[in-house]
Structure 1
Amino acid sequence: MLSAVPRFAKIAAVVVLAAAASLATFDIADARRAGSSGFGSRGMRTFDTPAITRTAPTQAAPIDRTMTPRPQQQPAAQPPLGAQQRPGFFGGFGGSMIGGLIAGGLLGMMLGHGFGGGFGFLGLLLQIGLIMLAISFAMRFFANRQRTQYAGPGASYNNSAMNNANASPRPSFSIPSIGGGTAASQKARQANDEIGLQQADLDRFEHLLTEIQSAYGAEDYATLRRLTTPEAMSYLAEEFGENATHGVRNSVSDVRLLQGDIAEAWREGDSEYATLAMRYSSIDAVVDRATGKLVDGDDRNPSETTELWTFVRKPGSDWVLSAIQGTGTH
């Protein structure tokens, strides 16, 4: 009987399976393209969102490349014994209906009937397309309903974020006052600062920004090892390797801090951490390693970027870079 299956029926079955796979991966592909990412470690606050500041009024990207173990989540509360759980659309009637449509249609095609009906191959493709659109619409519709019904904790989180955004921002230190002056030090200490950062610390952060960016553009491994933690250095070296594989390098020059905020500073054991929101300008471009020809970006005009940098130090040692988080602001 299988030899009698029309060729177009086999093709249609492959089309259906491919379309279903594309629906499953669509959101994942979108997620990869959305916003910036982060790497490194912020100690016990690695997976916490840094405080919003005037320099970075939006939430920073989460740290998705880190060696810090993710804390174990508490198991979800079990429903009371005997309580009836409400099945999702694809776990109940909807799942049975859609599964029946697909299975029945494929079986019908194998037997010479089904989706194609009396309309031939074009009718077959048209009906397949309509069914896939219906499945896509149903998935999004019921996903939105479930988010609306179970948005208790999420709503509280969003309200908290809105309150933070609407509240008066923390005092910021900005160029040229960051380089010196008592006023900048007083404003910095009024922020979410548990360790009492001094003006010398702020000056050091500004210097680290320019020194690390310049060393990155020059692929200066020795300088970067001195100014970063081993973990942060490993991710920077990984980026160098990827650029080399593609025959390019990232040229960074003329780095200048425009504005900065203390997002938070705290102690963990014998270590001190400080997360700074920094908006800076730089000439940032990707060029060919062999010829120096521009591949991407602008090698003449500066662009602005806002990121959150976390620094760490131990007693008797200087600040070093521990993590970088993007904000999607360029």
Structure 2
Amino acid sequence: MPKSRLIQVASILLILSTALGSVSLNPAEARRGGSFGSRGSRTFQAPAPTTTAPYTAPVKRSMTPNTVQPASPSQPSLAQPRPSFWSGFGGGLVGGLVGGLLFNGIFGMMFGHGFGGIGGGLSFILQLLLIGGVVMLAMRFFSRNNTAATEAGGFAPPFGRQGFGTGAPAYSPPAATGTGTSGATGADEIGITDADRSAFERILSDMQAAFAREDHQGLRRLTTPEMVSYLSEELADNATKGLKNEVSNLQFLNGEVSEAWREGTRDYATVAMQWSAIDVMRNRQTGAVEQGDLNNPVETTELWTFTRETGQPWLLSAIQETAS
């Protein structure tokens, strides 16, 4: 096989392997998370940070309509990507080179023309060198932008620790913050009381017990109808797998208000809840422990949102996993 033909074939294989490699590197679809429910108008906003939970992503599954509107072109959001090398001159140049290379070169060769002769082979190599130079330029451009963005980012200092069991100072409302773009104020706008604190802790304990008993009536008493549907779905999934959840020795460790607010006649309070418990999954037939450890409790931190109508008791309306 002539040397120029070898160069052509090797180059084609290199391009194809690169394309296939880029496909295989795409991340797999993440499994369904454990953040679900409703936080009213703040459902699709990240809660304000706390010491217990410095960052928590917005709710993933909710029956609340997402009414958050994208920023207008005249007022771009901070989350919108900056114009990049690929969207301007670089994109046109690379697109032109790659398009010409693939369609005029590879496909032309397949149909009996293009790449022909020594001149064609040298032209092909020249095009590859040009593309390599553009890629290197783009990588340097992105590296500079990423460094600048990292230096400009970062979290604001978290709020002070406020635990349910540390006396009167516990649950003092955190100071307002403008951190992030979620719009969350981080303020206690309704005045959380000792009775509210006790209700939150009681709901944590009672809800875990009702879930372990598979007590749907108990869940309806403690949570909103939306939450009942999600928890019932999880119980049904466990049953299908032949498993049963068992939670025991629950010890409440800490509670910290992220934010509390009012919408019309309804109150909301999002609270960072931290506790430890023996949490295992048993085989429904044999009773054998298939997941978890009966001898070692695990610590859990989640953001729980509670809601109530005026004069009515608090109900659990959302659970959000905290960032690990």
What TM-score, normalized to structure 2? 0.70
Report the CA distance between 1:99 and its aligned residue.
Answer: 4.8
**Structure 2 unaligned blocks of 5 or more:** 1-12, 77-82, 115-131, 176-186
Residue 30 (structure 2) aligned to one of 29, 32, 51: 32
Would the alpha carbon gap of residues 93 and 190 (structure 1) be closer, same or farther in structure 2, given more than 3 Å must change?
Answer: closer
C-alpha RMSD of matched pairs (Å): 4.2
Residue 55 (structure 2) aligned to one of 41, 59, 74: 59
1:269-303 residue CA offsets vs partner (Å, 9 max, x unmatched): 00001111111001112332222223322233210
Alignment of 1:151-300 (within 5 A): 158-159=153-154, 162-165=155-158, 169-175=159-165, 177=166, 181-184=167-170, 187-189=171-173, 192-300=187-295
Would the alpha carbon gap of residues 143 and 268 (structure 1) be closer, same or farther in structure 2, given more than 3 Å must change?
Answer: farther
Counting aligned pairs with the same residue, the percent is: 43
Report the CA distance between 1:54 and its aligned residue.
Answer: 2.1
Q: Does 1:94 align with 2:107?
A: no
Note if contact 1:217-1:253 (Cα within 8 Å) is conserved in structure 2: no
Report the CA distance between 1:249 and its aligned residue.
Answer: 2.9
Aligned equivalents of 1:282 and 1:109: distance in 2? 67
The structure whose residues are more often helix, as a share, is 1
Report the CA distance between 1:314 and its aligned residue.
Answer: 0.3
Aligned equivalents of 1:87 and 1:111: distance in 2? 31
Aligned equivalents of 2:273 and 2:75: distance in 1? 44
Q: Does 1:72 align with 2:46?
A: no
Report the CA distance between 1:265 and its aligned residue.
Answer: 0.8
Aligned equivalents of 2:241 and 2:100: distance in 1? 48
Alignment of 1:110-189 (within 5 A): 141=139, 144=142, 148=146, 158-159=153-154, 162-165=155-158, 169-175=159-165, 177=166, 181-184=167-170, 187-189=171-173
Note if contact 1:171-1:188 (Cα within 8 Å) is conserved in structure 2: no
Task: Name the counterpart of 1:50.
Answer: 47
Aligned equivalents of 1:225 and 1:324: distance in 2? 15
Report the CA distance between 1:259 and its aligned residue.
Answer: 0.9
1:98-154 residue CA offsets vs partner (Å, 9 max, x unmatched): 45555578637856999xxxxxxxxxxxxxxxxxxx8xx88x948945964995xx9
For these two proteins, the number of residue pairs brought into alignment is 282
Note if contact 1:173-1:188 (Cα within 8 Å) is conserved in structure 2: no
Note if contact 2:37-2:63 (Cα within 8 Å) is conserved in structure 1: yes
Aligned equivalents of 1:173 and 1:203: distance in 2? 12
What TM-score, normalized to structure 1? 0.69
Q: Does 1:21 align with 2:23?
A: yes
Would the alpha carbon gap of residues 173 and 67 (structure 1) be closer, same or farther in structure 2, given more than 3 Å must change?
Answer: same
Aligned equivalents of 1:296 and 1:106: distance in 2? 55
Aligned equivalents of 2:305 and 2:264: distance in 1? 17
1:160-204 residue CA offsets vs partner (Å, 9 max, x unmatched): xx2233xxx2350243x3xxx5444xx535663111111111011
Report the CA distance between 1:250 and its aligned residue.
Answer: 2.7
Letter in 2 for 1:69: P
Would the alpha carbon gap of residues 173 and 222 (structure 1) be closer, same or farther in structure 2, given more than 3 Å must change?
Answer: same
Aligned equivalents of 1:295 and 1:228: distance in 2? 28
Aligned equivalents of 2:319 and 2:174: distance in 1? 23
